[in-house]
A and B are shown apart, each in its own frame.
Chain A
Amino acid sequence: MRMRQAWAWLGPILLALVALPAAAAEYVALPGGSFTSVLPADGKDAPAQVAPFQLRREPVTNAEFLAFVKSHPQWRRDKVASILADARYLTQWAGPDAPGEQALPQQPVTRVSWFAAQAYCESEQARLPSWYEWEFAAAADATRRDARDDPAWRESILGWYSRPSNAALPSVGGTSNAYGVRDLNGLVWEWVDDFNALMVASDSRDQNDPDILKFCGAGALSLQEKDNYAVLMRIAMLSALKAADTTNNLGFRCAKSE
Chain B
Amino acid sequence: MKYLLPALAMLWLLLGGVARADTPLPGDSVYQLPVQLTDQDGRQQPLASRRGRPQLLTMFYSSCQMVCPMIIDTMRMTRNALDPAVRPRIDLLAVSFDPARDDVATLHDYAAKRKLAPAIWTLARAEPSQVRQLSSVLGLQYRQLPDGDFNHSSELILLDADGRIAARTTVIGRIDPAFIEAIGKVAAVRDGEE
Contacts and interface: CB of A to CB of B under 8 A. Distances in A.
B154 interface: yes
Contacts of B137: 83-84, 115, 243
Interface in B118-153: 129, 132-133, 135-137, 139-143, 145-147, 149-153
Q: How large is the interface on A (under 10, 10 to 19, 20 to 34, 35 or more residues)?
A: 35 or more
A42 interface: yes
A81 interface: yes
A203 to B, nearest CB: 11
Interface string A188-216: 00000110111100100110010011111
B152 A194 contact: no
Contacts of B25: 81
A252 interface: no
Contact of A46 (B30, B146, B151, B153): B146
B82 interface: no
Interface string A232-254: 00000000001100000000000
A214 B149 contact: no
B8 interface: no
Contacts of A177: none
A216 B152 CA distance: 5
Interface in A1-57: 41-43, 46, 49
Interface in A91-125: 114-115, 118
A81 B146 contact: no
Contacts of B29: 81, 83
B13 to A, nearest CB: 22
Contacts of B28: 81-83
Interface of A: 41-43, 46, 49, 81-84, 114-115, 118, 127, 193-194, 196-199, 202, 205-206, 209, 212-221, 242-243
Given A115-B133, A213-B173, A217-B145, 4 more contacts: A196-B140, A197-B141, A215-B153, A243-B137
19 contacts: A43-B145, A81-B32, A82-B27, A82-B28, A83-B28, A84-B32, A115-B137, A118-B129, A118-B133, A196-B141, A196-B142, A197-B142, A197-B143, A199-B141, A199-B151, A209-B171, A214-B170, A217-B152, A218-B149
